């Protein structure tokens, strides 16, 4: 008999997030005979829509419908999961801002092992699950073993597991709303404040000149702006540039910034973290300039140039201006 | 407000090329430039600003070896009042739970209203804050980019969520928060600042001081173990342009034109 694996499904406005299917695929990577149970929490009719979608992909869905779950407060959901999950359960969530909030504490409460940001599973050996993850901003990978004999809480990197083809699994939806009972927590959700809109909408740009920490100094941004002007492109950036307040937040590409879909993306001094690349959609043609030949950005770029951007970019601009 | 900030000494990824050593057991540690974890620096700055606003003290703590003292001193030069080093051979090889258990033992020796960690460190796990909150049985919020003290028992925090949106929450104190970069602008620390705190004593607490049995932490107590480091084969990767700088520029302009990158 296979392992029983639980996945937590993220959804919005009645639509299951891509990650919900990715987790089901990830569970299959842990154990191809696994019995996969998706857990869906929320409130109202939207929830039924999500359960219907998921019933096509896994054998069982636990639905918890309660108005207190209308917004996913990780503190509440953690307590709920502690009630619902059987002893020694293997539980998967996605490594996003919700999973990061929920999962480490859940492993404490369920007394199980915890591994974050898994990029690959390589099966189970005895009671040890074999895992691949990355360290040092993706510059190196590691093999990790995780003793799952007393259960495990694992978060998976978004986009790392390809969803299986929908098989029409005909999954059973079980209503567990009664389990909610009278959970109360010391953190109350108030509201979501939407990110500010900037003066340029980089989500519409066809060509982006994007700068990262490699630009080194605020004064150097000018050289990227000159290049962008010569190319007829817009300027975008990675997170550290916004943290330093050198450019406005609306210029940031990535999971906690904008999702862009240009035709051409020129990455200057950007290492290529998964949070940054998570904001690049529609398979743009990526050209990366970086002085470190081992920078992870070269794994995903189409064309790579190993140069110091502070010297290379002004020369490039000059040549483009010459026509 | 009594504030504790958990910090870590890490290889600075923006200063180093991280490479796997010859047997894959570790990364190449020779000539690495270390610094305080980027996220932790924001956490310490935030703690100092909160203390300056509402009073109290800031303590920085780290689980590490003798060399980790330098990051504590750096954060004290920023303005933290106290530093504590948690160090013992028995701590080596701890997984997230092990590190959390060590920190918990130190935390229970004091009385803190607010405990801060960085949102993540060099291993990208982002696990310590959440584990600490659960083991201490207090509320938690991760990826915090805004803190406002409401009264003695409550704070309002913003969490940075997908798309840069901000999720506002109210939390009861005491609580644990993990801090996201960009919440503030960490102050600069010069050599002079570090010299000023050079003589301050930093207590070192080991397993017996903390009442921790050695086999519950470290490699002995770890359910999660790193087997090795490696660099995976990512397949093709980028076509690297070769030649002189001029030749690269010429090729690049050609490619840009072909792909519609120059308007
Ligand atoms: C929850 C969460 C959300 C996040 N969201 C985002 C997000 O939305 N967007 C985002 O970008 N990041 C995000 N991050 C941060 C992300 O993890 C990385 O820290 C960040 O992307 C690194 O930015 P970078 O590549 O510019 O800097 P670094 O990783 O420091 O890379 C700098 C690169 O520049 C190169 N370089 C340095 N000097 C030069 C030079 N003179 N010439 C050429 N190359 C040079 C270096 O070799 C290096 O590869 C998030 C992190 C978390 C935890």
Chain segment B176-219, per-residue pLDDT in tens = 999 999 999 999 999 999 999 999 999 999 999 999 999 999 99
Residue nearest to atom 49 of ligand 1 (CA): A271
- Domain A202-322: state its class: alpha beta
- What's the pTM value of the predicted model, to 2 decimals? 0.97
Which pLDDT belongs to residue A165? 79
Is a pLDDT exceeding 70 seen at residue B110?
yes
Hey, where are the domains in chain B? Answer: 2-221, 236-263
d(CA B177, CA B40): 12
Is a pLDDT exceeding 70 seen at residue B54?
yes
The DSSP letter of residue A96 is S
Contacts 24+ apart (CB under 8 A), A120-125: A120/A29, A120/A160, A121/A26, A121/A29, A121/A30, A123/A29, A123/A30, A123/A31, A124/A3, A124/A30, A124/A31, A124/A148
Which pLDDT belongs to residue B226? 96
Residue nearest to atom 5 of ligand 1 (CA): A256
Closest CA to B123 of A118, A10, A251: A118
Question: For residue A125, what pLDDT band results from cuts at 50, 70 and 90?
Answer: very high
A287 touching chain B per CB within 8 A = yes
Hey, where are the domains in chain A? Answer: 4-179, 202-322
Which chain B residues are Cβ-neighbours of A113 within 8 angstroms?
Answer: 95, 97, 223-224
- Ramachandran quadrant class, A201 (left: phi over 0; alpha: psi -120 to 50; beta: rest): beta
In this prediction, residues A228-247 reach a mean pLDDT of: 97
Which chain A residues are Cβ-neighbours of B159 within 8 angstroms?
Answer: 97, 101
Alpha carbons within 13 angstroms on the beta-carbon side of residue A33 total: 4
Q: Which atom of ligand 1 is nearest to the CA of A100?
A: 1
> What does the block give as tokens for A251?
């210029």
A166 touching chain B per CB within 8 A = no
- Does the structural domain A4-179 have CATH classification 3.30.470.20? no
User: What is the percent of chain B with per-residue pLDDT over 70, rounded to a whole number?
Assistant: 100
Which pLDDT belongs to residue A323? 80
Which pLDDT belongs to residue A282? 94
DSSP per residue over A249-290, as a string?
GGGBBSTTSB-B--SEEEEES----HHHHTTB-S--EEEEEE
Which pLDDT belongs to residue B3? 98
Chain-chain contact of A264 with B256 (C-beta, under 8 angstroms): yes
Chain segment A72-122, per-residue pLDDT in tens = 999 999 999 999 999 999 999 999 999 999 999 999 999 999 999 999 999
Closest CA to A249 of A210, A196, A211: A196
Q: At what angle do helices B38-54 and B69-78 cross, to 10 degrees?
A: 40
A202-322 matches A4-179 in CATH topology: yes
Chain-chain contact of B125 with A249 (C-beta, under 8 angstroms): no
Alpha carbons within 13 angstroms on the beta-carbon side of residue A60 total: 12
Which pLDDT belongs to residue A197? 87
- Domain B2-221: state its class: alpha beta
Which chain A residues are Cβ-neighbours of B161 within 8 angstroms?
Answer: 97-98, 192, 256
Residues with C-beta less than 6 Å from any ligand 1 atom? A 97, 137, 212-214, 238-240, 252-257, 269-271, 273, 275-276, 279, 290-292, 295, 308-310; B 13-14, 119-120, 143
The CA A42 to ligand 1 mean position distance, Å, reads 35
């Amino acid at each position: 008999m296979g392992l029983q694996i639980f996945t937590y499904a993220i959804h919005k406005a009645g639509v299951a997030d891509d990650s919900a299917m990715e987790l089901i695929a990830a569970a299959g990577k842990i154990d191809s005979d696994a019995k996969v149970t998706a857990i869906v929490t929320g409130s109202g009719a939207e929830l039924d829509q999500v359960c219907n979608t998921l019933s096509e992909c896994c054998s069982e869905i636990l639905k918890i419908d309660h108005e207190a779950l209308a917004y996913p407060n990780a503190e509440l959901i953690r307590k709920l999961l502690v009630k619902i999950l059987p002893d020694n359960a293997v539980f998967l969530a996605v490594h996003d801002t919700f999973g990061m909030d929920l999962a480490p504490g859940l492993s404490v409460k369920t007394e199980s092992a915890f591994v974050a940001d898994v990029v690959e599973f390589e099966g189970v050996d005895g009671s040890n699950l074999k895992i691949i993850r990355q360290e040092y901003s993706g510059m190196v990978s590691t093999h990790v073993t995780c003793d799952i004999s007393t259960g495990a809480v694992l978060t998976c990197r978004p986009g790392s597991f390809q969803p299986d083809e929908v098989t029409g699994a005909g999954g059973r939806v079980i209503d567990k709303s009664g389990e909610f009972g009278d959970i109360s927590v010391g953190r109350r959700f108030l509201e979501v404040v939407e990110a500010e809109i900037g003066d340029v909408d980089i989500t519409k740009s066809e060509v982006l000149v994007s700068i990262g920490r490699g630009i080194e100094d605020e004064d150097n941004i000018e050289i990227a702006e000159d290049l962008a002007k010569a190319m007829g492109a817009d300027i975008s950036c990675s997170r550290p540039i916004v943290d330093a307040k050198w450019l406005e937040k609306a210029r940031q590409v990535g999971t906690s910034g904008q999702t862009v879909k240009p035709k051409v993306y020129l990455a200057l001094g950007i290492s290529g973290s998964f949070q940054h690349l998570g904001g690049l959609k529609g398979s743009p043609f990526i050209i990366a300039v970086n002085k470190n030949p081992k920078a992870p950005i070269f794994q995903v770029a189409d064309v790579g140039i190993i140069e110091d951007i502070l010297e290379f970019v002004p020369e490039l601009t000059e040549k483009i201006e010459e026509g | 407000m009594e504030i504790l900030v958990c910090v870590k000494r890490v290889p600075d990824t923006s200063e180093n090329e991280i490479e796997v050593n010859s047997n894959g057991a570790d990364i190449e540690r020779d000539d690495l430039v270390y610094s305080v974890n980027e996220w932790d620096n924001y956490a310490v700055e935030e703690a100092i600003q909160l203390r300056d606003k509402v009073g109290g003290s800031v303590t920085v703590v780290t689980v590490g070896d003798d060399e980790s003292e330098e990051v504590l001193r750096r954060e004290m030069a920023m303005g933290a009042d106290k530093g504590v080093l948690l160090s013992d051979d028995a701590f080596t090889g701890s997984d997230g739970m092990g590190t959390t258990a060590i920190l918990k033992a130190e935390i229970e020796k004091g009385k803190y209203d607010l405990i801060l960690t960085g949102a993540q460190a060099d291993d990208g796990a982002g696990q310590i804050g959440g584990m600490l909150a659960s083991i201490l049985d207090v509320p938690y919020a991760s990826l915090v980019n805004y803190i406002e003290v409401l009264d003695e028992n409550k704070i309002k925090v913003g969490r940075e969520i997908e798309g840069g949106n901000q999720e506002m929450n109210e939390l009861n104190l005491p609580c644990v928060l993990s801090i996201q970069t960009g919440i503030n602008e960490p102050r600069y620390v010069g050599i002079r600042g570090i010299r000023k705190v050079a003589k301050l004593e930093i207590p070192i607490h080991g397993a017996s001081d903390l009442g921790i049995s050695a086999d519950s932490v470290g490699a002995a107590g770890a359910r999660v173990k790193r087997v090795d480091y490696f660099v995976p084969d990512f397949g093709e990767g980028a076509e690297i342009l070769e030649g002189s700088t001029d030749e690269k520029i010429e090729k690049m302009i050609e490619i840009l034109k072909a792909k519609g990158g120059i308007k």
